[in-house]
Amino acid sequence: MRSSCVLLTALVALAAYYIYIPLPSSVSDPWKLMLLDATFRSAQQVSNLIHNLGLSHHLLALNFIIVIFGKKSAWSSAQVKVTDTDFDGVEVRVFEGSPKPEEPLRRSIVYIHGGGWALASAKIRYYDELCTAMAEELNAVIISIEYRLVPKVYFPAQIHDVVRATKYFLQPEVLHKYSVDPDRIGISGDSAGGNLAAALGQQFTQDANLKNKLKVQALIYPVLQALDFNTPSYQQNVNTPILPRYVMVKYWVDYFQGNYDFVQAMIVNNHTSLDVEEAVALRARLNWTSLLPASITKDYKPVMQTTGDARIVQEIPQLLDARAAPLIAEQEVLRHLPKTYILTCEHDVLRDDGIMYAKRLESAGVQVTLDHFEDGFHGCMIFTSWPTNFSVGIRTRDSYIKWLDQNL
């Protein structure tokens, strides 16, 4: 009996050691976030083990775990009709809210899920619940795109998928089929989905046939650049769940089918050092010392290496491609973008990407709403139902839907 108690105590202590990580007191539901992070880390470790055994790519294994425990069938209710179909060969899940009697044509959002271009699905519970809530509360049609993922495809295939599906949807006969008002369509996405939404928006501004087709864009903690992994938010949140800096850099390398040997050098900005000529012209477009307010920059210092590793951008030139990094787009491209909503979270390495993009858009004459949550963390908006229900998740979702309701 005594030995059993000792063993149990030891197991509890080990579990507590594994779960506990120091978090700022201002973050929402810290113990629940620790449990969520521990669960995700465990799934990552299992997937890495499967990879090391040669059974599957670690991202395929990780996404299998995510989807197998979270997949949800297309289930309709009295308020929202849900169907799975494809738009020009791209799988989509369509959520149709009930039309208002006084408005026979409905608003619409094309939604792009997050997951580091490699994980998650439009068909898992988190995104199904979000899009259902949007369709019901906005009386709208939500098109959630099931784009292809790394490692089955790499940049720019994900962009091609969302562009192709959105172009198909914007055809007059398709809009008519879904009773959608062509003047009230927006694009949106979270994290890597926010990246793809921003890239899609920029691409549409440069297409004469698609210009002014989108009324709004709404970007939720978007990832927007890969030139500087030492912005104040990257420095402040280097180990913050559920997206530590090291993990974000690896997602970028995976997206471009790059070499993991470059990860540590990229973390210290060796890929955009002063001797890397390809990066020189782009630095001014994300100079955070001028784009961020003093309340954000605080005492943080820029990390700019004098000499670095020019091989990185030579082997991965996509790092400097505005399609991958919308924050570095030219001002002429930005000024044609629609009214924009950007949601950022304090405890997120990507916080400053969103804030800098908002500043650049404002300078280009775009009307921008920057919605910042001091207790938010990366990914929080999809965590709104038990057992992963966070107070900030509910508040971010409600604020996002409220903005769409007022502006779309």
Per-residue pLDDT, averaged over 185-197, amounts to: 98
Q: What is the pTM of this model?
A: 0.96
pLDDT at 334 over 80: yes
What is the CATH number for 357? Answer: 3.40.50.1820
In a domain, 169, yes or no: yes
User: Would 314 be classed as within a structural domain?
Assistant: no
pLDDT exceeds 70 at position 31: yes
Region 262-289: what's the mean pLDDT?
92
Please indicate, yes or no, if residue 39 is contained in any of the structural domains: no
Whether residue 242 is contained in a domain is answered as no
Among residues 151, 115, 113, which one has the least CA distance to residue 258? 151
Proportion of the chain in helix, strand, coil states, percent, rounded to 5: 45, 15, 35
- Please give the Cα distance from 200 to 196 (Å, whole number): 6
Q: Which domain holds residue 400?
A: 68-225+322-406
Q: Which residue has the tokens 């989807």?
A: 67
Position 268 in a domain: no
What's the confidence (pLDDT) of residue 291? Answer: 96
Give Cα separations from 141 to 77, 111, 128, 400 (angstroms).
14, 10, 13, 16
As annotated, the active-site residues are 191, 348, 378
Domain membership flag for residue 34:
no
The model's confidence at residue 12, banded by pLDDT at 50, 70 and 90, is: very low
Whether residue 365 is contained in a domain is answered as yes
Pairing of strands 140-146, 90-97: antiparallel
Q: Which of 96-105, 111-120, 129-138, 218-227 has the lowest mean pLDDT?
A: 96-105
In a domain, 20, yes or no: no
Q: How many domains does the chain fold into? A: 1
User: Does the pLDDT at position 17 exceed 80?
Assistant: no
